[in-house]
Amino acid sequence: MEKYQKLGKIGEGTYGTVFRGIIRESRDSIALKLVSLEDEDEGVPSSALREISLLKQLSHPNVVSLHDVVHSAGSLFLVFEYCDLDLRKYFDTLNGEINESVVKCLMQQLLAGLAYCHANNVMHRDLKPQNLLLNTHGHPNPQLKLADFGLARAFGIPVRCYSAEVVTLWYRPPDVLLGAKLYNTSIDMWSAGCIFGEIANAGKPLFPGAHVDDQLKRIFKVLGTPSDSSWPGITTLPDYKPFPYYSSVANFRQITPTLCSNGRDLIQKLLVCNPNNRLSAEAALRHAYFN
C-alpha cells in the first residue's frame, strides 16, 4: 500500500467501503475499495474474488478499470480508476431536467458496456444508478462506466441454475421476481430499460416498488399482466401466482414524456415481461434511436 495514499471515504460498495486515494508517485486520483478480512476462517469473500477475476478479464472504455489488488494486514484493497460520481448523485445535480442528447449519450455507453460484457460471457446482475460511475470533468458529455461486479457471473454451456437473489428490487425483471433460476443476459437488459426511463425522467424511477408483489403489480399496470399465451411457461415459475388482470395500456408518451418516438420504441423493446423477447444490448445499439 506504500504506493498509494488513502484519502476520504466516498461510498459503500456491495461488500466494502470505497475511499478516494492517489498514486503517490504520479499524484493521479484512484478509488480504493477496502474489503475487510477480519474473519480469517472465511477468507476472501466470494463476491470480492468474483469481481477481481471478472474485471481482470474485461477491458473496455465503459467498464471500470481495476488497476491493482493489494493484500495487507486483515484487509484487501482493490485499486480502481477514479470517477467523479455515480449516476444517482448525477441525478441530484439535474434539478429535474436533462438534455435528450445527454440521455442518448449515457444510454449508448451503458449498452456498449453491456454488449462487451455479454460478448465476453459476463452478466452484471446488479445494474442500478449507484453502480454506474461517471466522469464529468473535461468531457462535453459524461463518460459512463459499469462498476461493482460483486454480483456478476460468468455464464456458459451447460446452462446452470443461478440465484434469484440478485438485482436491486426496482431494477429486477419479472422472471426473476417470479423466482426464475434459469436466466441469461436478458436480466441486464430489463435493468437497462428501467435505467433508460430513469435517465430520461432526470432521476425519477419507473417502478419504485416496496416489496416483490408491489413491484410486479407496478410493472403489470404499465405493461399488462402476462399470460401463458404472451409468455409461455410463466405459470410454471416457482413463485408464480395469479395476479389482477391489467390490460396493456402502456403509454410511454406519458411515462417518459421527454423521449422522442424512437426513444419510446427502444424502451418498449427493453421492458418486455417475457425475457425471450427482450432486445439484446447488441441489437439495442443498432436501434434507430442512436442514428
pLDDT in tens, 193-235: 999 999 999 999 999 999 999 999 999 999 999 999 999 999 9
Res. 192: pLDDT tops 80:
yes
Answer for the pair 274, 228: CB distance below 8 angstroms, yes or no: no
Q: Please report the pLDDT score of residue 73 as a whole number.
A: 75
Per the DSSP assignment, residues forming a β-bridge with 20 are 31
Q: Which residue has the higher pLDDT, 44 or 31?
A: 31
State the number of CA atoms in the 13 A half-sphere of 104 facing the CB.
16
For the chain, give the mean pLDDT: 90
Report the pLDDT averaged over residues 3-30: 88
pLDDT at 129: 96
CB 31 within 8 A of CB 19: yes
Q: Tell me what the mean pLDDT of segment 273-290 comes to.
A: 97
- Residue 157 is predicted with a pLDDT of 47
The answer to whether the CB of 264 falls within 8 A of the CB of 201 is no
Residues of the chain with CATH 1.10.510.10: 85-286
What CATH architecture applies to the domain 85-286? Orthogonal Bundle (1.10)
- CATH code for the structural domain at 4-81: 3.30.200.20
Query: Is a pLDDT exceeding 90 seen at residue 134?
Result: yes
Q: Tens of pLDDT along 73-99?
A: 778 899 999 999 999 999 999 999 999
Band (14; pLDDT cuts 50, 70, 90): low
Per DSSP, what are the bridge partners of residue 30? 21, 81
Task: Beginning with the edge strand found earlier in the chain, give each strand of the sheet holding 66-72 in spatial order.
Answer: 4-12, 17-23, 29-36, 75-81, 66-72
Torsion of CA 279, 141, 260, 225, to 10 degrees: 40
Q: How far apart are CA 12 and CA 7, in angstroms?
A: 15
Residue 33 known to bind ligand: yes
Q: Which residues are catalytic, by number? A: 126
Range(s) of the chain covered by CATH 3.30.200.20: 4-81
pLDDT, residue 48, reads: 85
